[in-house]
């Protein structure tokens, strides 16, 4: 199949960028979206042009490194990661818009790659538990109800790709932060520090320049891991509770 691509090109963080048009031919519907971009890049290299920079790592939907705002949606038309998106989702002759995540807290590094270290700083602010790792404890030492574990694990499936921020009209990071807050707040290992954690992570989130949540639900609808809005409600509860009762003045 043949496609027209409109791709954001930007030399570096300080340069101003623009959409540029490329044509790709003989694309197999079995290719992944990133393979299609690889084909285009080989073409560009042969012509002596600068290849298009885009992020990727595992290419199997688990690392959260790939991004791309494709045809108006993060990770493209289906609710998956861009590396798991296949060209069969497009038709011969389609025009495809490819843009980087847009957020003040995710500055463009080059072309389609953005700097997502704001997420790392939010995790550093409190997305961990402060215990020394020793031997694995006995499995039945700490009884945790199955439904609680399931819920915590479903929050923990967040791969931190940033699609929630990209989808949100406010570039809000609340789905990401709430998933990280939830996965720890629900389990006994995370409970001792839960107040301090939610206060620190929300403060860091605000400092990074993400917007606030309007509860549009766009984040969850576009999330490749289907992280649900109940996480945001849980984070709000945890936050208001912590602010009202924690010892941190």
The C-alpha atoms of residue 11 and residue 32 are separated, in whole angstroms, by 26
Using left for φ > 0, alpha for ψ between -120 and 50, and beta otherwise, residue 228 falls in beta
- Of residues 64 and 162, the one with the C-beta less far from ligand FES: 64
Please work out the total of residues on this chain that contact ligand FES, with binding judged by CB under 6 A: 12
Residue number with the shortest CB distance to ligand HEM? 214
172 is a contact residue toward ligand FES (CB under 6 A): no
| Nearest approach, Cβ of residue 167 and ligand HEM (Å) | 15
Q: Can you give 126-157 as a three-state secondary structure string?
A: HCCCCCCCCCCCCCCCCCCCHHHHHHHHHHHC
| Nearest approach, Cβ of residue 11 and other proteins (Å) | 15
246 is a contact residue toward ligand HEM (CB under 6 A): no
62 binds, among ligand FES, ligand HEM, other proteins, none (CB under 5 to 8 A by kind): ligand FES
Instruction: Give the footprint of other proteins on this chain (CB under 8 A).
Output: 6, 8, 19, 69, 71-73, 97, 99, 102-105, 167, 169-172, 174, 202-203, 205-206, 209-218, 221-222, 229-230, 232-240, 243, 248-249
- Of residues 4 and 215, the one with the C-beta less far from ligand HEM: 215
Q: Which stretch binds ligand FES (CB under 6 A): 42-50, 62-70, 91-99, 240-248?
A: 62-70
61 binds, among other proteins, ligand HEM, ligand FES, none (CB under 5 to 8 A by kind): ligand FES
| Nearest approach, Cβ of residue 53 and ligand HEM (Å) | 34
Burial label for 147, CB within 10 Å (0-12, 13-18, 19+), is exposed
In the list 36, 37, 70, 83, the residue contacting ligand FES (rule: CB under 6 A) is: 83
| Nearest approach, Cβ of residue 62 and ligand FES (Å) | 6
CA dist 5 → 19, 33, 99, 102, 112 (Å): 10, 12, 11, 19, 13
In the list 7, 65, 198, 218, the residue contacting ligand FES (rule: CB under 6 A) is: 65
Burial label for 21, CB within 10 Å (0-12, 13-18, 19+), is exposed
- Binders of ligand HEM in range 179-198 (CB under 6 A): none
> Rounded to a whole number, what is the distance in angstroms from the first to the last CA of the chain?
61
The C-alpha atoms of residue 157 and residue 235 are separated, in whole angstroms, by 16
x-or-dash string of contact with ligand HEM, 199-228, rule CB under 6 A: ---------------xx-------------
Q: Which residues bind ligand HEM (CB under 6 A)?
A: 214-215
Q: Which residues bind ligand FES (CB under 6 A)?
A: 56-59, 61-66, 81, 83
């Amino acid at each position: 199949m043949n496609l027209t691509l409109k791709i954001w090109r930007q030399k570096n963080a300080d340069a101003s960028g623009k959409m540029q048009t490329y044509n790709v031919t003989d694309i197999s519907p079995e290719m992944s979206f990133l393979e299609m971009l690889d084909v285009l890049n080989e073409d560009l290299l042969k012509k002596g042009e600068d290849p298009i920079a885009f992020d990727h790592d595992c290419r199997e939907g688990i690392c959260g490194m790939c991004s791309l705002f494709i045809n108006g949606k993060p990770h493209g038309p289906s609710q998956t990661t861009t590396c798991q998106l296949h060209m069969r989702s497009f038709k011969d002759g389609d025009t495809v818009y490819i843009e980087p995540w847009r957020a003040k807290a995710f500055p463009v590094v080059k072309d389609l790659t953005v700097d997502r270290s704001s997420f790392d700083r939010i995790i550093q602010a409190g997305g961990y538990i402060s215990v020394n790792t020793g031997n694995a404890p006995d499995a039945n030492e700490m009884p945790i109800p199955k439904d609680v574990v399931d819920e915590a694990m479903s929050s923990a499936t967040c791969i931190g790709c940033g699609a929630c921020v990209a989808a949100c009209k406010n570039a809000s990071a609340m789905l990401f932060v709430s998933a990280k807050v939830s996965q720890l707040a629900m389990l006994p290992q995370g409970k001792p520090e839960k107040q301090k954690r939610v206060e620190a992570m929300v403060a860091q989130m605000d400092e990074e320049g993400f917007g606030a949540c309007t509860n549009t639900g766009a984040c969850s609808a576009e999330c490749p891991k289907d992280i649900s809005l109940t996480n945001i409600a849980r984070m709000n509860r945890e936050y208001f509770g912590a602010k009202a009762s924690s010892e941190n003045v």
